[in-house]
Structure 1
Amino acid sequence: MKHNLGFETLCKAARQTVKTCSVDDVKKLLDNQQLPLLIDVREESEWNHDHLPHAVHLGRGIIERDIETLVPNQETTIILYCGGGYRSILAAESLTKMGYRNIISMDGGYRGWKEAGYSLVKE
């Protein structure tokens, strides 16, 4: 998907300040039972179709509003993912600005996970 220049510029700037990891990094953590909190920031309809194992849903539109209820400890390690890595990088930047210190955005997102052939779940 081709994104607008302004959006790409915003994401590129956020990428300079946010930690990232790869789809393979997340898979290794999952396989070793060391996966930290994994949050899917996609839209609810995307989540309902399928999502990564052990993920919880907190959409990009409400994450800033609800994160402190779900995760009151700002030291908690959290990996965020979206469809391709753009929305999660912006959400990670936002949570970092809110004081969360261990926020990571998964590069490649859901599409990268699916393309790698890793399992997805539907509830």
Structure 2
Amino acid sequence: MQHSQRFLDLVDASRKRIKETDVQTVKQWLEQKRDFVLIDNREESEWAKGHIPNAIYLGRGILERDIEQRCPDLNTEIVVYCGGGFRSALSVDNLQQMGYTKVISMDGGFRGWKEAGYEITE
């Protein structure tokens, strides 16, 4: 998908304020049973076609509204992923503004996870 320059500029600005990690690190954390919440931030139709095991669904349109119900502790470690890492960067930036202190965007997103050949749940 071709993204507009203004969207990319917005994502780049967010990336300067957030932490990111890659799909291999998240896979390792899951294997180590590290205690964190994995949030799928894509559209509901994308989630329905498959997602990372143990992820919870909080789409971009509802994340800020519903996050406190799922993660009331602002110190909860949270990893957010989307399709490629752009929407999740924006979401992590917003979560930080809401007071969450341990939020990370998964660069590469679901696409990177699939390309690495990692397990997917449908």
The number of residues matched between the two structures is 122
Please give the secondary structure, in 2, of the residue aligned with 1:105.
Answer: strand
CA distance in 1, matches of 2:3, 2:22: 21
Determine the structure 2 residue equivalent to 1:44.
44
Please give the secondary structure, in 1, of the residue aligned with 2:101.
Answer: coil
Q: TM-score, normalised by structure 1?
A: 0.97
CA displacement, residues 62-104 of structure 1 (integer Å, 9 cap, x when unaligned):
1000111111100000000000000000000000000000000
Please give the secondary structure, in 1, of the residue aligned with 2:6.
Answer: helix
Determine the structure 2 residue equivalent to 1:65.
65
CA distance in 2, matches of 1:48, 1:70: 20
Percent pairwise identity? 51
CA distance in 1, matches of 2:114, 2:26: 13
Cα RMSD for the two superposed structures = 0.7
2:56 counterpart letter in structure 1: V
Determine the structure 1 residue equivalent to 2:110.
110
Structure 2 residue ranges without an equivalent (≥5): none
Q: Does 1:79 align with 2:79?
A: yes
Residue 31 of structure 1 and its aligned partner are, at CA, apart by 1.2
Please give the secondary structure, in 2, of the residue aligned with 1:73.
Answer: coil
CA distance in 2, matches of 1:119, 1:52: 7
Detail structure 1 runs of 4+ shifted over 4 Å in the superposition.
Answer: none
